[in-house]
Structures are given as structure tokens and as C-alpha cells.
Amino acid sequence: MSADLNEPIRNSARRVTIRKPVSRSTSILLGIAIWVIFFTAWELAVIYESVNLLLVPPPEKVLGTLYELLIGGRFPGDILVSVFRVLASFAGACLLAVPLGILMGTFPAVESFFNPFVSAWRYLPAPAFIPILLMWLGTGEGPKLALLFIGVVFFLITMVMDYTRQVRIELIETSLTLGANQRQVLWTVIVPAVLPNVVVAMRQMLAVSWTYLVIAEIVASTTGIGAMMMRARRFLHTDEIMAGILVIGLLGLLFDVLFRWLHRVLFGYLYNQGR
């Protein structure tokens, strides 16, 4: 009898196993469950007046405000402007960081030259450049794009460099033994081997770019999600601020899903190895 009672407990424990994949349906259910718990806790905090309603409006009010912003104002245009700023600055960062990171991870001499400079800049907080960017680039799109670029590019260079170093040395030595020159090894061995991880690094750093968005858009800006949130702050419209936060989170999640899909499309062989 006791064995029968303990069976559900043992079955539940088996589902949480180190490095053991879960089914797709279980993964989806668990992902939904955490959001249900989050919004339930938020709603209960409001119902039992554990928070100030002026500062923490209920979820339904935030969702209602978001709906009104989307259908009745300039907010859709603000979203498009913010998406453009993130993607344009991120594309520029990738164009510099990916080839430079691969070269630094491939050639120690290139790393020795660039890495002291890149490492120093990586520790400088991007918002600290706001005053000088305003003086250099004015109050248009320039300082916003530059701030988003600076916030990403040096970390991305380092990540790509580290991933390039992880390419198996046996592949490189075999290619050289078979008569390939350095250019051929770079383009036919190292680049194809590191590209899957480069896409992973880009996905991770795009998330960082979204975290800098609001900071970039409070710099003499009248458009964008961050500018909308700053306007709402002046009038204590907390529901609009939280609606803006929600949109940034949803956009970030959407781009993360797109990068995951792109990774599967481009490197499907990595997902078929265990089949």
C-alpha cells in the first residue's frame, strides 16, 4: 500500500532529471505555468492591497491601457521607431564584431593587438557616453544609435572570439596536413564551425540591446517606446509605463524566438544528431 502511495512522488521526481530533455508539450506547459503564477501573484497583491494601486495598477488595467495605446494613438509608430533603432544599431555592431571576433579567435597576433583595447571598452558603462554623444552627434538619431551600438559591440566581439577559440584544433591541423592554406582553413573550416555559436552570441546580445533601449530613447527623444514611457512618468500614468515595459518584453521574446528558429533552419544538422 505504501509503495502505491509513493509511486506519484517517484514519477514526479523522474521528470526533473539532470540534462534530461523534456517533451515539447511539457516545455510549453511549464513556460505557460510561470506566467500564470506571475500574473496571479500580481493580481492577488492588488486584490489584498499589498501594493499602492497608483504605482502598481492591476494587470487588467495595464492590458486595457496597452490595447488603447495600440488602437488609438501614436504608439504603433513609436514601436516601429524603437524596432528600427535596435535593429539598425545591432546590424552595425554585428558587421564589425563578427569578422573581428573571428579573426581575433583565429590569429593570436590579431588578438594581442585588439584585445587590450576591446577589453578596456567592455568595462565602460554605455550610458556614461550620453553627454559626449550629444555634443558630437546632436539630438537626432545619431546618439541613440551610437549608444545602442556601444552597449553591444565590445561584448559581442569578445563572445565571438571565445567561441572561435573553441573550434577543435584537430579540424585545423587536419586541414593544414591535407594542404590547405590559411585562407582556406579560415573560410572552409573555422567559419562554418563557429557560425552556429555566432548566431547564439547574436541572439544573446540582441537581448542586451533591448535593455539599453529606454536609456537611449530618453536622450532628447520624442519618439519611441522609451519616450512614451517618459511622457507617462510626468503625469504618473504608471499603467502606460508598465504597458511599455510589457511591449519591450514581448518584442524581445519575439526576436528571441525568431533567432531560435533561424538557428534551427540554418544549422538543422545540429538538431538531428541524436535521431
pLDDT in tens, 153-192: 999 999 999 999 999 999 898 998 888 889 999 999 999 9
pLDDT in tens, 33-90: 999 999 999 999 988 888 888 888 999 999 999 999 998 778 999 999 999 999 999 9
Asked whether residue 53 is domain-assigned, the answer is no
The rounded distance, in Å, linking the Cα atoms of 101 and 42 is 43
Angle made by CA atoms 218, 222, 226, in degrees to the nearest 5 = 40
Mean per-residue pLDDT for 210-220? 85
Residues 83 and 25 in one domain: no
Name the more confident of 236 and 241: 241
Q: Could you give the C-alpha distances from 241 to 73, 192, 195, in angstroms and in order?
A: 15, 43, 38
Domain membership flag for residue 54: no
Please report the pLDDT score of residue 112 as a whole number: 96
Pair (35, 105) in one structural domain: no
Would you state the pLDDT for residue 114? Answer: 96
| DSSP structure string for the chain | -HHHHHHHHHHHHHHS-TTPPPPHHHHHHHHHHHHHHHHHHHHHHHHTT-S-TTTS--HHHHHHHHHHHHHHSSHHHHHHHHHHHHHHHHHHHHHHHHHHHHHHHH-HHHHHHHHHHHHHHHTS-GGGGHHHHHHHHTTSHHHHHHHHHHHHHHHHHHHHHHHHHTS-HHHHHHHHHTT--HHHHIIIIIHHHHHHHHHHHHHHHHHHHHHTHHHHHTSS-SSSHHHHHHHHHHTT-HHHHHHHHHHHHHHHHHHHHHHHHHHHHHTHHHHSTT-
pLDDT at residue 6 in the model: 56
36 and 135, same structural domain?
no
Overall domain count for the chain: 2
CATH of the domain at 76: 1.10.3720.10
Looking at the fold, whether 211 and 189 belong to one and the same domain comes out as yes
Domain ranges, residue 30: 2-47
| 126 and 154 fall within a common domain | yes
Residue 52 belongs to some domain of the structure: no
The better pLDDT of the pair 138, 120 is held by 120
- 244: cell is 511599455
Amino acid occupying residue 239: D
Residues 31 and 81 in one domain: no
Q: What pLDDT shows up at residue 14?
A: 57
> How many whole angstroms separate alpha carbon 103 and alpha carbon 33?
44
| Chain centroid to CA 136 | 28
What are the phi and psi torsion angles at 49 (to 5°)? Answer: 55, 40
